[in-house]
Amino acid sequence: MKVKEPIRLKDAQLFLDECAKKHEAVTIVALAKDGHKVVMNDGWYVTSGHWTRGTHKYRSMKSGEVRQLIDVLLFQVNGHPIYI
């Protein structure tokens, strides 16, 4: 898999907010609070974002599971590496 161009965290947050408005699916690689790597690549939709908390919520279209991830712990969004 070819690595895409890195993007800033702020740009990733704006992209995720735009995806929430358009109801688009995203692929996420992040670090969970417990230190385990989280890979969400099977149709996760951004449902909402919270700028002051720095989090976004995601819903799986397959299982209906909802996850909330801290934006600072994002490694990749749609194949783009994230830097702070």
The domain ranges of the chain are 7-83
Residue type, 51: W
Residue 3 has pLDDT above 90, yes or no: no
CA distance 21 to 18: 5
pLDDT band at 33 (very low <50, low <70, confident <90, very high): confident
Q: Count CB neighbours of 1 within 10 A.
A: 4
pLDDT band at 4 (very low <50, low <70, confident <90, very high): confident
Q: Residue 37: helix, strand or coil by DSSP?
A: strand
CA distance 42 to 33: 21
Query: Which of 40-44, 49-53, 64-68 shows the highest mean pLDDT?
Result: 64-68
| Structural domain 7-83, CATH architecture | Roll (2.30)
